[in-house]
Structure 1
Amino acid sequence: MKQELRVAAYAVCVRDGEVLLARWVAGDGTRRWTLPGGGMEHGEEPVQTVVREVEEETGYLTEPTALLGIDSIRRARLRRLAGPGDFQGLRIIYEVQVTGGALRNETGGSTDLAAWHPLDAVPGLARVELVDIGLDLWRERPPVGRSRLADPSNG
């Protein structure tokens, strides 16, 4: 069975009671809101990853202000032509603040829309679980950087 590890960095950016989200487009065309961010490139520092990914997906220049936590997910994933697989995603979550740039949508990437959403409207959005985990880390600031919403079966 093929094993795959993906390390990624994501941003929680809250300003004036709103959170910045990017709309992720799945392979089947499903669209759900997520935290801006994505996979690390080889040799890249996680802080550089989150800054690069936020700019790519939203147009904003940002500065990380805190490491909120780390989330780990594990999924059985069928791999095209390779058979079953075992996928683990390590997600590093930072708090960031906007320092420049202008809101715009990503072109030709994994997201198609970037927008600010009122915090109290987030529960009504079609979203990935990472949004809730990131906001929980932002609100609670747990000392070990693990959200109470994290799935205990993921380790």
Structure 2
Amino acid sequence: MRRKLRVAAYAICVRDGQLLLARWTDGRGRPEWTLPGGGMEHGEDPYDTVLREVEEETGYYVEVTGLLGVDSFRLTTRSRFRRPVDRQGLRLVYEARVTGGQLRPEIGGSTDLAAWHPLETVPGLNRVGLVDTGLALWRERPVTGRLPQKMNTA
């Protein structure tokens, strides 16, 4: 079975009781809110990845204020040739604060909108599981960098 590993870095940006999110579009017509961030390029440091991805997806420049934790998941999918692929996602979740730039949508990327959402309204949003995982890491700040009970975040 073919194996694929994807390493990505995401940011939790909370300001005045609001969370910065980007709306992810998967091409199937069902957009979902996600944390700003994304895949690491070959040779890139994850710290640099989160800075680049947040700016690409939101227009903001951020300063990383801490590493909240790591989330990983595994699933088996099919390749375009219908062969099974064992996929593992490794996601680093950083805490960050906005230092400059202006809120704007990503141009020609995987997200089409960026917006601030009051923390109390986030549970009602159509969102990916990573948002809940990131918020739990932000609230609980586990010393292991891992949530005690693994959440399904794929």
Whether the TM-score (by the shorter chain) exceeds 0.5 is yes
What amino acid does structure 2 have at the position aligned with 1:91? R
Q: Which residue of 1 aligns with 2:145?
A: 145
If the length of structure 2 is used for normalisation, what is the TM-score? Answer: 0.95
In 1, Cα distance between the equivalents of 2:148 and 2:17? 22
What is the identity, as a one-letter code, of the residue corresponding to 2:95?
A: E
Which residue of 1 is the match for residue 13 of structure 2?
13
Q: Which runs of 5+ in 1 are unaligned?
A: none
CA root-mean-square deviation: 1.4
The correspondence of residues 101-140 of structure 1 with structure 2, limited to 5 A, is 101-140=101-140
Does residue 81 (structure 1) correspond to residue 81 (structure 2)? The answer is yes
State the shift of 1:78 in Å.
Answer: 1.2
Structure 2 unmatched ranges of 5 or more: none
Tell me the secondary structure at the aligned position of residue 27 of structure 1.
coil
CA contact (8 A) 1:8 1:39 kept: yes
- Mapped partners of 2:151, 2:62: distance in 1: 29
3-state SS of 1:42 partner? coil
Corresponding position of 1:30: 30
CA distance in 1, matches of 2:34, 2:147: 16
The aligned runs of 1:35-54 (5 Å cut-off) are 35-54=35-54
- Looking at structure 1, the residues matched to 149 and 126 of structure 2 have their Cα atoms a distance apart, in angstroms, of 17
The SS at the match of 1:107 is: coil
TM-score, scaled to structure 1: 0.95
Counterparts of 1:102 and 1:116, CA distance in 2: 12
* SS at structure 2 position matched to 1:62: strand
Change (3 A) 1:74 1:27: farther
